[in-house]
Chains A and B, each alone.
Chain A
Amino acid sequence: MTMATTTTPAASATPRSHGTAARRPRFVHAVTFEWIKVRSIRSTWWTLFAASFITVGVGVLGGGHAHSGESAALVLREIFVGLPLGQVAICLFGVLAATSEYGTGSIRSTFTAVPHRPRLLAAKALVVFAVSLVTGLLISFATYTAGSLALGTQVAHPALSDGAVLRAVLGGGCYLGVLGVLALALGLVLRASAGGITTAVSVTFILPIVFRMMGDSGQPLLKWWPTEAGQQILLLIPSPENLAPLPGFGYFATLTLVALIGATVLVNRRDA
């Protein structure tokens, strides 16, 4: 590996462009920048694969265990039983989209290229949301399809022609899309991968289990816990003690937006 000693800087083929002459980059360029970064690291692909594999795989097992005599609502819950686990991988994706940049120092090249941090973070959030949403919808429909195929002949079949089933399956994908952004916000605040992942797993997976073990005293916590409220969208029959599906999801999405704005304010104030 040797430097091309014969090449002098003045010999570059591109004519010298002065700051004022070049076109001013727009938001779309920040989005492209973020998209190239997300797609060019391997962790993106293995986290998304893991999310799909776990959710769909457990969904097949769940469908296989469904009994005849169970309502379609209960059967659908059994099909989506892997989601609380699979969502952890989506969280990894969202957290790493932020912390991998801090961990490697590449956040500095990023901020020198796009010094307007709110614009950059909006672009990042958009990319993370789009990737999580598309993956989430694929996972959701794949889980539904695979889980349904695994159902026994005597078992009630939740049909997509039923509006509530379609809403639940679509909603599951949207939930994962928003969850990616929530994880991104956590990653931006915490900056370190280990801390970010631990927190995200605690928020989405461990704490809800703890709340369930607390019985009645844990119920109000579960009701207002963001990810639990968001997951109500997966229920065909709303549970009386929790938020209704759409308000629950709206509450979750609103809190995510608040978290993202808070993270942006913090990042904007901090040294990189």
Chain B
Amino acid sequence: MIEVTGLSKRYGDKRAVDNLTFTVRPGLVTGFLGPNGAGKSTTLRMIVGLDRPTSGSARVCGRPYHELPTPLHTVGALLEAKAVHDGRTAREHLRGLAASHHIPRQRVDEVLAMVGLTAAARKRVGGFSLGMGQRLGIAAALLGDPEILILDEPVNGLDPEGIQWVREFMRGMADDGRTVLVSSHLMSEMQDTADHLIVIGRGRLAADSSMADFLARSSHNGTVVRTPHAPQLVPLLQREGGTAESLPGDASPDGALLVRGVDARRIGELAGQHGLWLYELAPQRVSLQEAFMELTADAVEYRVTHSGKAA
């Protein structure tokens, strides 16, 4: 359990984090989303006591991080790849951290094996690729077999196999009843992984909801209906509390509609009851990326000028 209450961080005039309040619960993978520069990393650093909040507080298992009796057994954090001295070997880095909590040496070899770094254990970290650095960071986070995992952009630099591994790993940790907080600026990454989402933009909370609710709330949601009987169908839908508009960008003569507020099943029933033909009845699955873009459209700090289509 991570509780963030009224958390703010100001650098001069700039509010990097602005009055954030949210709770991260155990048993779920919670995605922490926001565009670059939204304040994700700053928030995570405050949670683990590296940065001091300007105001507000962050508590882990009911206490500020620095009051935890055994921090590495409580929280495993991957905050940036390669927070390691270049000249040190992977094993020495982990042995040092293990020594700080009298974690047995065999655990070091265990976590190295878990992330697939056994063969590179004696190599100096300076020669590691970004992906290997990430693996080492994950190994360090696992060292204390913690109840809470905080991962800042964990799949950065990983190959597809590594990404798959991280996903399964986070799922496994959450299913085991642990708290998993994972940040990303890649929405596609979260769609398959997260159960719950916390979205921030410009340091402020933009959304705190389950993945399903988050997607359902998007205006991109709806059902595409293609029918020659639109004039008869639309009033029926409206009586059910739905809305219908012509599908944007659609040039077909049939006049496709985008229907919201009534699900596909009900639309089919209504059409059937009234003998209306349907040529197409297609629920639109909104992508997290679209929902996110919509939400943070005005909260993106570093906007690119070309308007690339969202993936």
Q: Measuring CB to CB, which residues of chain A are less than 8 angstroms from any residue of chain B? A: 1-5, 7-10, 12-25, 29-30, 32-33, 36-37, 40-43, 100-101, 104-109, 111-116, 269, 271-272
Contact = CB atoms under 8 A, between A and B. Distances in A.
A22 B50 contact: no
B69 to A, nearest CB: 5
Interface in B71-109: 71-75, 77, 79-80, 82-89, 92-93, 95-97, 99-102, 104, 107
B203 interface: no
Given A12-B114, A18-B147, A105-B84, 11 more contacts: A3-B135, A5-B161, A5-B165, A19-B61, A33-B97, A41-B88, A105-B80, A106-B88, A106-B93, A111-B50, A115-B68
A216 B114 CA distance: 68
A271 B69 contact: no
B45 A271 contact: yes
Given A41-B88, A108-B83, A14 B73 contact: no
Interface string B160-193: 0110110011001100100000000000000000
Given A19-B147, A43-B87, A112 B71 contact: yes
A49 to B, nearest CB: 15
Given A8-B172, A22-B144, A105-B82, A1 B50 contact: no
Contacts of A10: 172, 176
A211 B163 CA distance: 61
B49 A14 contact: no
In order of increasing CB-CB distance, the 7 nearest A-B pairs are A19-B74, A40-B92, A33-B100, A3-B165, A115-B66, A36-B96, A271-B51
B311 interface: no
Contact of A13 (B77, B80, B110, B115): B110
A10 B93 CA distance: 24
Contacts of B80: 105, 108
Contacts of A114: 71, 100
A9 B83 contact: no
Interface stretch (B116-124, B224-232, B261-269, B283-291): B116-124
Chain A at the B interface: mostly helix, strand, loop or mixed?
loop
B145 interface: yes
A231 to B, nearest CB: 32
5 contacts: A1-B117, A2-B161, A5-B168, A19-B61, A22-B101
Contacts of A104: 82-86
Contacts of A40: 85, 87-89, 92-93, 96
A10 B226 CA distance: 49
Contact of A1 (B100, B132, B173): B132
Interface in B125-162: 131-132, 135, 140, 142, 144-147, 161-162
Given A24-B70, A37-B96, A115-B66, A5 B145 contact: no
Contacts of A3: 115-116, 135, 161-162, 165
B113 interface: yes
A2 B132 CA distance: 10
Contact of A116 (B66, B116, B172): B66
B292 interface: no
B32 interface: no
Contacts, number: 166
B99 A32 contact: yes
Nearest to B165: A3
Given A33-B96, A113-B100, A24 B83 contact: no
Given A1-B116, A17-B73, A24-B70, A115 B65 contact: yes
A42 B51 contact: no
B15 interface: no
Contacts of A23: 70, 102
Most chain A beta-carbon contacts within 10 A, residue among B74, B89, B111, B131: B74
A9 B85 contact: no
Most chain A beta-carbon contacts within 10 A, residue among B51, B110, B114: B114
B52 interface: yes
Given A29-B102, A106-B84, A272-B50, A1 B119 contact: yes
Contacts of B117: 1
B48 interface: yes
Most chain A beta-carbon contacts within 10 A, residue among B49, B101, B120: B101
Nearest to A7: B114
B69 A24 contact: yes
Interface in B1-58: 45, 48-52
A115 B71 contact: yes
